[in-house]
Structure 1
Amino acid sequence: MMLSHTILHGPRILSPVAASALKARRTQTFRAFYATIRSLRQPPPTVEVDDLDPPDNDFILSLLRANPSLRDTKSYLANFGVRPPVPEHAGSIFPPTGLNGSMPLFPKEAPDISVNKQPEQVKPSPSPILSSILNPVYRRTALVKLQGPFTNKQLDSIARGMVYLETLGLVSVIVVENDQVRGDDGERSAVIEEVMRVVSALEAQGAEARPVLGTVVRLGPKPDDNQLPEPRDFIPPEAHVFPSDLVAIRSALRAGEIPVLPPFALDSFCRSVRIDANDVLGALARGMVEAAALDDKDMNSRSCDPHADYSQDINLVPLRLMVISREGGVPSYARTGFPHLLINLTSEYDYIRDTYDPLWSKGKHSSLSNLSLARTCLAYMPPTSSAIMVSHRSPSSLIANLITNKPAVSSSLPHALLQGNRKLTRDTPTLLRRGLPIQVIRSLADVDKAKMNYLLETSFKRTIDADAFYKRLEQTLDFVVIAGDYVGAAIVTNEPSPDSSEPISYLDKFAVLPSHQGDGTVDFLWVALHDESYGLGHPFSINPNGGKEGKGEGRDLVWRSRDNNPINKWYFERSSGHMRMGSWVFFWCDAEKRLKVEEGRRANAGLSYIEEWEENRLSQWTDVITKIPSVWK
């Protein structure tokens, strides 16, 4: 058996043999190679924001800082990669895109469309291969709110970020908002002047931009909206768009230009009036999705031209919502005003509003309104879409978000690591997703076994012995965290320990459907698991997931995983320690409140390698965990 550990709390003694081996390795080299969280728990030095990241003046450097995983790269290519032509009988030269923005898979080799055709039947137009070489990116759209005022230097930095995104295939539809001119005399001319400043800044960075000064949206709810059922507490935008109103935006996009709009709307008297930019963006989000659906329907009904230049087309469905302001993300009660990293709007929206400190409004007066904007827009956009609230000081984060669709730092990392992370600043972006409801179930009778079986068998790709599995849970179940309609689940049991009166808290199963891996569900699920187990007792565990809401004492959480499990890298980052046991890897997370108390007793000395309260606990854990029978057939 080999003893090991992760970056959090150092190694743990299992036996005298292991202890002697560990003592022999306690050299300076060992300490330098294995970093622990104890050094990170000290308050980080005060650093200026500009010192945290190099200047965003290099496109390649911005891509490298994104550090995408293989899954991130595949996801990006699925959205922006070249679309090869489909057979003529399919009725379209591109894959159809529904409201969810999903794309079907294509065969490795496209059919030879020129077989058995006379030369005169082939139109002398550019071939798809040539088009893909000249313009290899399938372009998508993003809705962008520029909430100024910005200086010329700040606007140049933002414009450079917009140009980078366009290079990667994401074309921005920008709505300009200037907080300084609300209600002032001559505000209309001031807003138009701000629009022209944005256009000039974009053109100075090499982009082509077009001011769309005419009214695109119409004031008031869309006709017949009162007949449609709305989700609870959902407030639709106070404006609407018909597909015919998007002519100016379509024209700009097809001409390779970035449309820049003022927050104007046409009222019932056909007057152009200024409205809140959030209503303009909400109307555009809905209108562009509806227009794209009509485009798909029309495209599928037309005959196919296999030689059409498909690389010039743009999918109108917004893939991202970006709010760029001087304020940055939404302040979090769990981080003393530092921004939220990732927000599940379905389950966290109301609680974030309820816990918002009025003192934060002095510096971030529009955080809650932008939170509401994200909720409105994402309700119309595809489930895979996301919103990001970012400061003008962090334009490179837009590149990372586009490629990875993840927050700057994972919200499911241990709290101690997050608190000591040098990347967390007042300007750290907040990523928002529509998300899923999270519920905690403590009775096996309330578990939908058919859905649970499907989730486990689909995730693990194995057949479960349901009778044996649920018979064991009847005796040991502590709680189950369910994401959505059983698209993810974490099952925790109480395993009796012969050497202790307190049972062992064991993560029996952690599963997410493959279709929801990479959309934030894994992080949402682990955060809820943290709040119900080893994170209990801390104020940052008070989340509205139907569980204990942070009340109680945290308990050590343990689990095991096959040594060839690809998710182990993710487990290494989130566990307090790990130990290899043959073909298994044993993980554990220490109760965070107890660690905090122990640290307080030692002042600045920190924790030693082995504490009195953890002697022999690994042997107790492994004796119990290794005897748990497999539930797979």
Structure 2
Amino acid sequence: MLPRIPTCSRLSPRAAFTTIRSLRQPAHDLDDLPPSENDFIVSILRANPSLRDTRSYLASFGPRPKPPAAPVRLTPAADGLATKPSIPVVLEDAKPSPVVSSILDPVIKRTALVKMQGPFTDVQLESISRGLVYLEKLGLVSVIVVESDAVPRGDHDERAFLIEETMRIVTTLEKQGARARPVLGSVVRLGPQPEEDDNVVDPPEAHTAPSDFIPIRSALRSGEIPVIPPFALDSFCRSVRVDADDVLGALARGMTQAGSTSDDVDLTPMRLMIINREGGVPSYARSGYPHLLINLTSEYSHIHETFHHPWRHSNPTALSNLALARTCLSYMPPTSSAIMVSHRSPSSLIANLITNKPALSSSLPHALLQGNRRLTPHTPTLLRRGLPIRVIRSLSDIDRPKLNALLEQSFGRTLDEPAFYQRLETALDFVIVAGDYVGAAIVTNEPSHSSAPAISYLDKFAVLPSHQGDGTVDFLWVALHDESYGLGHPFSANPNGGKGGVGEGHDLVWRSRTDNPVNKWYFERSSGHVRLGPWVLFWCDAEKRLKVEQAKRANAGVSFVEDWEEGRLEMWSDVVEKIPSSWKK
């Protein structure tokens, strides 16, 4: 007897068992609309922020709540007369209009380190400057370090050229409505920081002193964007040209240490933006198109190993900028991120500021990403400090107290530990752990009632609330893809301590309550879904098998239900509905 599938009740019986794939197309993109790409309002609309994104943005840039005003006490008194006890009289302020409130209580200004890696034409520079001006309107003020590949190190006229380029950027910013200030004096000192932290990989060959931030802080306090050429003071107090990456690394460390020493200027950088002509870091998994999101902690070496030789000519500074991002983010707050973007996509900086996410989620199905018009050679790469990812296959290797805390905080329920771990003793396939148990994906093998192989079931997928929105969810799902339905593809050979992409992929199945707010995220990443009473059953088809089937069919077309699909939803539904709850009632 077939299970009841409410959402498919109006379809034919065979239609209820059809795998849903290749039917979802990307939503109509606002890039197709007539307004200019850099139009401020349209750029904000392109960001399409979620409610969580909006709250996160307002937490950083929104007005700070003010403490309630103390009551005013009026005490009648006169010479020669006894005074009565004071009577508190509260004088309530009249509520100002929203317009007045916005003027009296502006958004909080935060800083971003920006590497402008030219040379750029006047048109390109105007486009970039317009994007930076828009960021300033949203509360993010750029501290710009100038670099130009047009003049080699040691060139006779390099100093004059870089000063001229600095002034050109200042002039262009002011034409776009911003106030900018050239900071031509050296703001960093040549040589490593005294008592450098040994944990920092590839530390910059420059450092700062507290007094070096006086011109930067003065510019920011005056509402001006500081524009800095890559000069440093050597041991003889001479100003010499250095690599802009060393200046940015020194500023990242020094500005983070300086932090907020006054009420109006917070030097702590929350973004690193690398604006160049080549865009992000090419990815072997996307046929040379850029990486969407990079976990620097676990992927840095792997990216170097899989960096194809031709990219050293088409993207000559990709790896050096990757190293720059790793160095700067090692100093900056954990919530900070870096973005590598082409001059062709300045409006994407607004989307990154508001959402702190890549232009496209790296955990989306590969077929959906490959057919997405928003994935181009100029799609930006978002980089985060990230977390180590590892795969655990033995129950004895799991830190149970940490896993328990993760699950209970994520789901807001009390785990039935004895029953939960007793089930895992016989059913566990693997556990993917992010960092120190800030996220985990638990996959089990569920026996079927036929000669079919065991069902690969995603039993738990959890991320601590404090790490939701920092990339951990995508990092974890990509590792889950690589260990289950993505096995067998070269692009599944990511460094997560698992099988390295070697093996046969298998369908991944899971269930979720119909009222789970995460279901929208699941819909986007699954091959299909059906309703099972209070549950939604999701699945991801083994990608290698889909590719083989597609090759077999060639131009013969696809049947409504493939032979290998017959009966599987019935089997999955029967097994999944009987899996016991892991929670105490």
Contact 1:328 1:389 in 2 (8 A): yes
The letter for the 2-side match of 1:37 is S
Equivalent of residue 129 in structure 2, options 140, 147, 159: 159
**1: CA distance, partners of 2:396 / 2:282:** 39
Q: Could you tell me whether the CA contact under 8 Å between 2:6 and 2:533 is conserved in 1?
A: no
Change (3 A) 1:513 1:195: same
- Indicate conservation of the 8 Å contact 1:38/1:606, yes or no: no
Q: 1:501 to 1:269 in 2, by over 3 A?
A: same
- The 1:194/1:439 distance shift into structure 2, 3 A limit, reads same
CA contact (8 A) 1:488 1:522 kept: yes
Equivalent in the alignment of 2:86: none
Distance 1:629 1:195, change over 3 A: same
1:178 is the counterpart of 2:148? yes
Deviation by residue 1:71-121 (Cα, 9 ceiling, x = unmatched): 000000000011233xxxxxxxxxxxxxxxxxxxxxxxx322353389xxx
Q: Quote the residue 1:106 is aligned against.
A: none
Output the CA distance in 1 between the equivalents of 2:365 and 2:515.
24
Query: Counterpart of 1:266?
Result: 233
Q: Which moved more, 1:607-616 or 1:413-422?
A: 607-616
Kept in 1, the 8 Å contact 2:440–2:476? The answer is yes
Give the Å deviation of 1:243. 1.5
Q: Are the equivalent residues in 1 in contact too, given 2:17–2:567 (CA < 8 A)?
A: no
- Offset of residue 315 of structure 1: 1.6
Q: Counterpart in 2 of 1:245?
A: 212
Tell me the equivalent position of 1:102: none
Please show how residues 35-114 of structure 1 align to structure 2 within 5 Å. Answer: 36-37=21-22, 55-85=36-66, 110-114=67-71
1:148-547 equivalent positions in 2, closer than 5 A: 148-183=118-153, 184-225=155-196, 228-231=197-200, 234-292=201-259, 295=261, 313-547=264-498
- The answer (yes or no) to whether the contact 2:273–2:339 under 8 Å persists in 1 is yes
Give, in angstroms, the shift of residue 134 of structure 1: 4.0
Which digits, 9 at most, give the CA deviation of each residue in 1:215-251, with x for residues without a partner?
Answer: 00000011222xx3325xx111100011110000000
Cα drift, residue 432 of structure 1: 0.3
Alignment partner of 2:458: what SS?
strand
Cα distance change of structure 1 residues 506 and 207 upon mapping to structure 2, 3 Å threshold = same
Deviation at 1:56, TM superposition (A): 2.3
Q: Distance in 1 between matches of 2:17 and 2:300?
A: 49
CA contact (8 A) 1:38 1:607 kept: no
Output the CA distance in 2 between the equivalents of 1:265 and 1:117: 60
- Give the match's secondary structure for 1:111: coil
> Secondary structure in 2 aligned to 1:320?
strand
Q: Which amino acid aligns with 1:191?
A: L
The Cα offsets for residues 334-367 of structure 1, whole Å up to 9 and x where unpaired, read as: 0111000000000101100111111111111000
Query: Superposition pairs for residues 527-606 of structure 1, below 5 Å?
Result: 527-605=478-556
The one-letter code matched in structure 1 to 2:12 is: S
The structural deviation recorded for 1:374 is: 0.4
3-state SS of the aligned residue for 2:310?
helix
Query: Whose relative contact order is higher, 1 or 2, with alpha carbons under 8 Å and at least 6 apart?
Result: 1
How many angstroms apart in 1 are the aligned matches of 2:369 and 2:60? Answer: 31
Aligned amino acid, residue 343 of structure 1: I
Letter in 2 for 1:144: V
TM-aligned CA deviation for residue 176 of structure 1: 0.7
Amino acid at match of 1:143: L
Following superposition, the deviation at residue 2 of structure 1 comes to: 3.4
SS, match of residue 180 in structure 1? coil
CA distance in 1, matches of 2:74, 2:164: 56
- TM-score w.r.t. length of structure 2: 0.91
Q: Which residue of 2 aligns with 1:136?
A: 106
1:608 Cα deviation from its structure 2 partner? 3.0
Q: CA deviation at 1:464?
A: 0.7
Q: CA deviation at 1:603?
A: 1.4
CA contact (8 A) 1:598 1:607 kept: no
Distance in structure 1 (CA, Å) of the matches to 2:248 and 2:95: 34
SS at 2:268 equivalent: strand
CA contact (8 A) 1:195 1:262 kept: yes
> Structure 1 pair 540/179, CA: closer, same or farther in 2 (3 Å)?
same
Query: 354-363 or 569-578, which moves further after superposition?
Result: 354-363
**How far did 1:52 drift?**
9.4
Query: Compared with structure 1, are the counterparts of its residues 466 and 261 closer, same or farther at alpha carbon in structure 2 (3 Å cutoff)?
Result: same
Distance 2:294 2:559 in 1: 36
1:192/1:213 contact within 8 Å kept: yes
SS of match in other structure, 1:316: coil
> Cα distance, 1:610 vs. partner?
1.0
Q: Which residue of 2 aligns with 1:2?
A: 5
User: What per-residue deviation string (whole Å, max 9, x for no partner) do you get for residues 7-60 of structure 1?
Assistant: xxxx8xxxxx8762666999xxxxxxx99516979xxxxxxxx97996324111
Task: Show the counterpart of 2:90.
Answer: none
Q: Is the 8 A contact 2:419 2:582 kept in 1?
A: yes
Task: Report deviation, 1:135.
Answer: 5.3
Q: Where does the alignment leave 5 or more consecutive residues of structure 1 unmatched?
A: 5-10, 12-16, 27-33, 42-49, 86-109, 119-126, 300-309
Give the conservation status (yes or no) of the 8 Å contact 1:599–1:606.
Answer: no
Structure 1 residues 522 and 243, CA gap change in structure 2 (3 angstroms): same
Q: Assess if the C-alpha contact under 8 Å between 2:14 and 2:561 holds in 1.
A: no
1:52, 1:423 within 8 Å by CA — same for their partners in 2?
A: no
CA RMSD of aligned residues (A): 2.5
Query: C-alpha offsets along residues 483-525 of structure 1, whole Å, 9 cap, x if unaligned?
Result: 0000000000000112134100000000000011111100000
Gaps of 5+ in 2: 76-93
8 Å Cα contact 1:56/1:157 also seen in 2 = no
Matches within 5 A, 1:612-631: 612-631=563-582
Whether the aligned pair in 2 keeps the contact of 1:219 and 1:268 (CA below 8 Å) is yes
3-state DSSP of counterpart to 1:328: coil
Q: What one-letter code is carried by the residue in structure 1 that aligns with 2:72?
A: V
Question: For the Cα contact (< 8 Å) 2:20–2:529, is it kept in 1?
Answer: no
The secondary structure found in structure 2 opposite 1:586 is strand
The alignment covers a number of residue pairs equal to 558
Amino acid at match of 1:235: D
1:179-209 Cα offsets, whole Å, 9 max, x none, are: 0112332011001111111001100000000
* 8 Å contact kept, 1:439–1:481: yes
State the 1:63 CA deviation. 0.5
% identity of equivalent residues: 70
Cα distance in structure 1, aligned partners of 2:498 and 2:459: 18
- Equivalent-residue separation in structure 1 for 2:510 and 2:290 (angstroms): 31
